[in-house]
Structure 1
Amino acid sequence: MIRIILGEDQRLLRGALVTLLSLEDDIEVVGEAENGEEAISLIQQHQPDIAVLDIEMPLKTGLDVAEWIQNTKVTCRVIILTTFARPGYFQRAMQSGVYGYMLKDTGSEEISDAIRQVYQGKRVINAELSLAVWEDQCPLSAREREVMKLAAQGLTLQEIGAQLFLSYGTVRNYMSEAIGKLSANTRIEAIDIARNKGWLD
């Protein structure tokens, strides 16, 4: 029997998934969480084989939980469910040792099959998501992303320079390059584009 916990903050969707997965003879849902902190608590309590987690839960995201599992060496594999094909999220998921990465509108049979494959140690990545990531790589350098992240927090260029030990002119150049690479007209527009792609997470 494959023991799983399910983390999803939308109650209706969580209930539907639990019902559908419970129909499978070899899958048992041993816990349901509506936020990331609850998911961690259930993982510690039940020690499931697999955690199926929504990527955007309150308190801690599915990716936060995956990173916690990786850092604490807990023997629980993670399948992430997401609504959007955000390249930044996907890259972070892979770095966090996630085994599965699937769209929320995937059929229950496909999710059940993914659970079985992940249980066997295989990785399962939704084809549509992997194609979107392949075609939409982040054009920003690590330093440009760092500057953009701080700007997104509301810091001025002077404040960013002080925090990163860079001159005002250098920070302005990084921001200008980032705006150009994202084909944006303003700093705000560039931040919105990068945030929507998941590149500032």
Structure 2
Amino acid sequence: MTTVVLADDEALLRKALAALLPLEGDITVLAEAADGAEAVSATLRHRPDVLVIDLEMPGVDGLGAVAEIRGVHPDQVILMLTRHAKPGVLRRALKLGVQGFVSKSAEPAHITSVIATLHEGRRWIDPDVSALALIDDCPLTDREIDVLRATSYGYSVADIAGQLHLAEGTVRNYLSNAMGKTQTQSRHEAARYAREHDWL
């Protein structure tokens, strides 16, 4: 029996997976989470064999939740669901130790089989996801991506500094570098440019 926590802000998809995965394989869904913060608390509370988490969620996104969970349990097995496999995001997820990537449009039977693969200690990246990840023309560093992502959510420089445990001056330097690389006039323009180019 493989235990799972499901985290996705799309209630319909989350409920469908919670109902279908146990029918497709030897899976028990221990808990569901509707955002990143709930995903962190549910995973730390239940310690599932595999966390199945959506990449894009409100508030703390999938990557942010994974980073928090890995800080406490570095061995947690994670399967990330995504609609848009942006190269920079995939690179960051792999650096965080995410073992699996599957498209949200995948059949429940496929997701079940990937969960089993990860539970056996192997990795899985869907071919369409890995093909997109090879096209990586992002000139931004990981930290520049972090501050631009926070900017795109509307956080101030002070908020970003607090979230990322950086000095405000350091955040401003990252933003300035990102503005230079994107040839934009403001941090919000730089964040918009990065999103349009699938770098965030």
TM range, smaller chain: 0.7 to 0.9
* CA contact 1:117–1:123 (8 Å) conserved in 2: yes
2:13 paired residue number: 13
* CA contact 2:39–2:65 (8 Å) conserved in 1: yes
Q: Does residue 163 of structure 2 align to residue 178 of structure 1? A: no
The structure-2 alpha-carbon separation of the partners of 1:133 and 1:34, relative to structure 1 and needing over 3 Å to count, comes to same
1:118 paired residue number: 118
Q: Helix, strand or coil for the counterpart of 1:5?
A: strand
Deviates more, 1:42-51 or 1:191-200: 191-200
2:195 paired residue number: 195
2:45 paired residue number: 45
C-alpha separation in 1, matches of 2:48 and 2:143 = 39
C-alpha separation in 2, matches of 1:19 and 1:150 = 34
1:69 paired residue number: 69
C-alpha separation in 1, matches of 2:78 and 2:146 = 28
Which letter maps to 1:56?
Answer: E
User: What does residue range 109-148 of structure 1 map to in structure 2 within 5 Å?
Assistant: 109-140=109-140
Q: TM-score, normalised by structure 1?
A: 0.76
Number of residues paired by the alignment?
185
Q: Does residue 191 of structure 2 align to residue 163 of structure 1? A: no
Unaligned runs of 5+ in 1: 156-161, 180-184
C-alpha separation in 2, matches of 1:30 and 1:150 = 31
* CA contact 2:9–2:33 (8 Å) conserved in 1: yes
C-alpha separation in 2, matches of 1:19 and 1:104 = 16
1:36 paired residue number: 36
The structure-2 alpha-carbon separation of the partners of 1:42 and 1:136, relative to structure 1 and needing over 3 Å to count, comes to same
Q: TM-score, normalised by structure 2?
A: 0.76
For each residue in 1:75-97, what CA deviation from the matched residue of structure 2 results, as whole angstroms up to 9, or x when unmatched?
Answer: 43111111112112111111111
* CA contact 1:147–1:175 (8 Å) conserved in 2: no
Larger Rg: 1
For each residue in 1:160-199, what CA deviation from the matched residue of structure 2 results, as whole angstroms up to 9, or x when unmatched?
Answer: xx935999xxx59x745533xxxxx876765423124453
Identity of paired residues, percent? 34
* CA contact 1:4–1:30 (8 Å) conserved in 2: yes
The structure-2 alpha-carbon separation of the partners of 1:26 and 1:146, relative to structure 1 and needing over 3 Å to count, comes to closer
* CA contact 2:70–2:76 (8 Å) conserved in 1: no
